[in-house]
Structure 1
Amino acid sequence: MIRTTNLITAGAVAAFGLTAWSGVATAADSHTIKFGNVISAGDTQNQGYELFAEQVAEGTDGRITVEVYPDGQLGGEREMIEATQFGDIEMTAPSVGVLANFDKSLEVFDFPFIFEDADTAHEVLDSELGDEMLAGLADSGLIALGWGENGFRNLAMTDGTVRVPEDMEGIKLRTMQVPMHIAYWESIGAAPTPISFPEVFTSLQQGVVDGVENPYELLYSARLTEPANYLTETRHIYDPEVLLINKDFYESLSEEDQEVIQSAADAAIDKIRSLKKTVSDEIRAEIEAEGGTVTDLTEEERQAWIDSAVPFYADNASEVDTEKLKAILEAAGNATFLEAIQ
């Protein structure tokens, strides 16, 4: 498995908030890393992040401690990326869809149905191509420690099951503030509605939106399957996350401490991916046991979803780094969409 071992450096960032890190760190320096994310406490990602915290403390003899703040305690994903850039917090792990607002080359991962399964996604992300994609963060004041995982996104609706793209006509669907996500749903007639994640539950309850799309685990742990209990396993987007650390803080550490942090990040990613292999089936069973409905698509229905994305690729490939999109599709063995944009 290839990870970002040649860690990504970045250009200068705003000086305020970073004064505590000026100068050269010594081996005796103590630090506290605030690590914020929007994922629910106890979810697979936060189990990985807690392992990260344990290994950093152990590897530095307690000189560096990691405080993990789940559930959006430190803000939404965009806010925490900015806070990490400016040094207000040291680490975060956003969805690549939100991170693409800071580096447009990452928008290629916002196209639907790229990866057929997680193993294919891991192979591509852990390759030199995946490292190259992370290198696009070089001017952002951030260092990428590796590709985490949120999982495949599925649909959850408040009033009836969606089976084919035509069922989305006029549906108000909560999405992230991600241009390519919004463009795809608009292309099949839906009404995508960006809403900050902490506000989604209330928006579903009050009818502001008719549905939401996210991996099963996050839908369930955030209780979104209570108001939106008609689920469809569309697996329309594989959603990687990126473990980020503030550049100035990271570079203030000794090489030994940097190695501890990278090793701990690798271990966290391995644990998250291992847990993700079974969590979807387990969570799906929990949702059904509590009265939710989870629908599998037939082969013909899934093909209808894939077919619905072909015009989207043709119309939007030029809006992103087309050569990188082609490279990702080729690496994933996705001939359908590769042909659509040639």
Structure 2
Amino acid sequence: MLKKGLFYFLIGLALLVVAACSGGDSESGDAAESSGDTNDSGETISIQAAHVVSTETTQHEAFLEFKDLVEERSDGRIEVEIYPDGQLGGEREMIESTQAGNIQMSSPSVGVLANFSSALEVFDFPFIFKDTETAHEVLDGEFGQELLTGLEENGFVGLSYGELGWRHLSNNQGEVVTPEDAEGVKLRTMEVPMHIAYWESVGLNPTPLAFTEVFNGLQQGVVDGVENTLGLIYTGKFHEVSKYITMTEHIYDPEVYIMNQDFFNGLSEEDQEIIQSSIDDTVTHLRELNSERKDELITMLEDEGAEFRELSEEEKQVWVDSAIPFYEEYADEVDKEKLIKLLEAAGNETYLDAIE
């Protein structure tokens, strides 16, 4: 009997010890959860960041800069994993993955992101900005920041505007100087309704294709040309099958650095500041890279067989005027108030007169 009693006593004592330990674990776990501060635990925070362009582009170099800055400023607590070249899907899939929290960050073009935040559709109109400096001023100013804040309604934090640059027209049919020269050309566009509508309005045959399908589309005759930035024309090798490039500068194409809202809001204020300051410095670096490499890109493209057509002021004005009927017809298809604010910020009287 004595042995049996001792046995039950030891079992009971063991249960009390286990209960006490588990209770302590639960209390500390609740405290850690309520603090929301991942820094206290010393655990590494991982950011998966995706984009769709080549590792040879300045956009990818910018992501490498962001990675270096974040990891240095966080003393390695925050790690950034970069997935370039559409490894995680096209732009739409990349945005959806960011929205769902499957990845933490991406940098879609503003045209595709507008499918998720309609306020951004105003950037899909052609010939808004007279030059790069004006574009930067508008994006960095009150209007551009207002649109970034609006992304919160869709589950994103808009960190800043990156830069794909100016879009130009290239084709494999021959030199193009006026819109009439390009009538009937099957032109690859992004899946952006306003881009498609504009090119239709000036007589082309726009054909949406995912970026990863463009080269094969040109090679196989699905399309006759593309409208894109010089950097993406070069790294995508589009000039090999679409060598006539007209410097239309019809759209200044920003990309947007977006982050999953729940992820960002779950970070400490210190880490949020590290991410924001790092992306701000990254954008400055990216713009400098693009400015430095424009002439270099033109030279490399020409060396590989591309034929450029610069437009005089008078020739460029023909393109600008060609878009007036488009503005008159489609201004009411977007948030017209925001479109007017954008044109005012850009100092664009031509299209303001057309739609007001």
Q: TM-score, normalized by length of structure 1?
A: 0.92
Of 261, 277, 280, 1:247 maps to 261
Q: What is the Cα deviation at residue 177 of structure 1?
A: 0.4
2:173 pairs with 1:164? no
Unaligned runs of 5+ in 2: 1-32
Q: Which residue does 1:146 correspond to in 2?
A: 160
> Following superposition of structure 1 onto structure 2, how do residues 311-330 of structure 1 map, counting pairs within 5 Å?
311-330=325-344
- The higher relative CO (CA closer than 8 Å, separation ≥ 6) is in 1
1:250-329 paired onto structure 2 within 5 Å: 250-329=264-343
Partner of residue 217 from structure 1, selected from 215, 221, 231: 231
1:82-93 correspondence to structure 2 within 5 Å: 82-93=96-107
The whole-number CA distance in structure 2 between the counterparts of 1:161 and 1:84 is: 41
Q: Percent identity?
A: 55
SS in structure 2 opposite 1:139?
helix
CA displacement at 1:103 relative to structure 2: 0.8
* Paired amino acid for 2:230: Y
1:33 partnered with 2:47? yes
Is residue 127 from structure 1 mapped to residue 138 from structure 2 by the alignment? Answer: no
1:251, CA displacement in angstroms?
A: 1.4
Contact 2:148/2:159, CA 8 A, preserved across alignment? no
> What is the CA deviation profile of residues 158-198 of structure 1, one whole-angstrom value per residue up to 9, with x for unaligned ones?
22121101122111100000010000001011110000100
* CA apart distance, 1:93: 0.4
Q: Supply the distance in 2 between the matched residues of 1:319 and 1:311 (Cα, whole angstroms).
A: 14
Compute the displacement of 1:249 (Å): 1.1
The residue identity in structure 2 corresponding to 1:182 is: I
Count residues in correspondence: 321
Instruction: Quote the RMSD (CA, aligned, Å).
Output: 1.1
User: Which runs of 5 or more structure 1 residues have no equivalent in the other structure?
Assistant: 1-21
Q: Once the 2 structures are TM-superposed, how far is the Cα of residue 258 of structure 1 from its aligned partner?
A: 0.8
Q: Alpha-carbon deviation of 1:133?
A: 1.4
Question: 1:205-236 deviations in whole A, cap 9, x for unaligned?
Answer: 00000000111011101111111111110000
Shift in Å, 1:26: 2.3
Aligned to 2:87: 73
What's the offset of the Cα at 1:136? 2.0
Distance in 2 separating the partners of 1:177 and 1:145: 24
Q: CA deviation at 1:29?
A: 2.7
Calculate the TM-score normalised by the size of structure 2: 0.88
Q: What SS does structure 2 have at the residue aligned with 1:113? A: coil
- Correspondence 1:136 to 2:150: yes
- The one of 38, 59, 65 equivalent to 1:51 is 65
Alpha-carbon deviation of 1:69?
1.4
Distance in 2, Cα, partners of 1:70 & 1:190: 32
Q: Aligned equivalents of 2:294 and 2:173: distance in 1? A: 22
CA deviations over 1:51-91 (Å, ceiling 9, x no partner)? 10011111111111111111111111111000000011111
Q: What SS does the aligned partner of 2:322 have?
A: helix
- Contact preservation (8 Å) 2:152, 2:261: no
103-112 or 274-283: bigger deviation? 274-283
Aligned to 2:20: none
1:117 is matched with: 131
Write the letter of the residue equivalent to 1:62.
Answer: G
Instruction: Kindly provide the CA deviation profile for residues 125-170 of structure 1, in whole angstroms up to 9, marking residues without a partner as x.
Output: 1111111111221211110110111000001112212110112211
CA distance in 1, matches of 2:148, 2:181: 36
**Structure (1 or 2) with the greater helix fraction:** 2
Measure the CA separation in 1 of the matches of 2:37 and 2:109. 31
Q: Which runs of 4+ in 1 moved over 2 A?
A: none
TM-aligned CA deviation for residue 304 of structure 1: 0.9
Residue 339 (1) aligns with residue 331 (2): no
